[in-house]
Chains A and B, each alone.
Chain A
Amino acid sequence: MNAIEWYAMIGKTALVIGMLLMVAPVMNWIERRGAGLMQNRLGPNRVGPFGLFQTIADALKFLFKEDRILGHVNPFWYFIAPIVVLIPACMTFAVIPFASSITVDGTVIRMQAAELNVGFLYVFAIASLGVYGLIMGGWASNNKFALLGSLRSSSQMISYELSMGLSVIGLVMVFSSVDLMAITQGQGEALWQLGPLTIPKWGIFVQPIGFIIFLTAVFAETNRLPFDLPEGEPEIVGFHVEYGSMKFAVFMMGEYMNMAVASGLLASLYFGGWQLLPGMGWALGNLGLAGDAHEWARIGFEMLSFTLKLSFFMWFFVWVRWTLPRFRYDQLMDLGWKVLLPLSLANIVITGAMIYYGWV
Chain B
Amino acid sequence: MELSPVFFYVFGALAIACALMVVLAKSPVTSAFSLILVFFAFAAIYAMLGAHLIAALQIIVYAGAIMVLFVFVIMLLDVTRDTGEAGKPHPILMALSVLAAMSLLAVFVWAFKNTGTPAILGPFTTEAITAAGGNTQVVSELMFSEYILPFELTSVLLLGAIIGTVAIAKRQMSAARKGGGK
Contacts and interface: CB of A to CB of B under 8 A. Distances in A.
Interface of A: 77, 116-119, 121-122, 124-126, 128-129, 131-132, 135-136, 139, 147, 151, 154, 158, 161, 178-179
Contacts of A128: 59-60, 63-65
A122 B44 CA distance: 12
Contact of B75 (A131, A135, A179): A135
Report, as a range, how many residues of chain B touch the other chain: 20 to 34
Interface stretch (B5-13, B94-102, B129-137, B159-167): B129-137
Interface string B28-59: 01100100100010010000000011011101
B65 A121 contact: no
A152 to B, nearest CB: 12
A105 B103 CA distance: 57
B19 interface: no
Contact of B56 (A118, A135, A161): A118
Contact of B72 (A119, A125, A129, A151): A151
Per DSSP, chain B at the interface is helix
A136 B68 CA distance: 11
Contacts of B29: 77, 139
A61 B55 CA distance: 41
A116 B65 contact: no
B33 A132 contact: yes
B42 to A, nearest CB: 13
Contacts of A118: 52-53, 55-56, 134, 136
A128 B64 CA distance: 5
B71 interface: yes
B64 A125 contact: yes
Given A129-B36, A139-B29, 17 more contacts: A117-B133, A117-B134, A118-B52, A118-B56, A121-B56, A122-B52, A124-B60, A125-B57, A125-B59, A128-B65, A129-B40, A129-B63, A135-B72, A135-B75, A139-B71, A151-B72, A154-B68
Nearest to B140: A178
Contacts of B68: 131-132, 135, 154, 158
Q: Which 7 A-B pairs have the closest CB atoms?
A: A128-B64, A117-B134, A125-B59, A121-B56, A118-B52, A118-B56, A125-B56
Given A125-B59, A147-B75, A178-B136, A117 B33 contact: no
A117 B60 contact: no
A179 B40 CA distance: 22
A118 B60 CA distance: 12
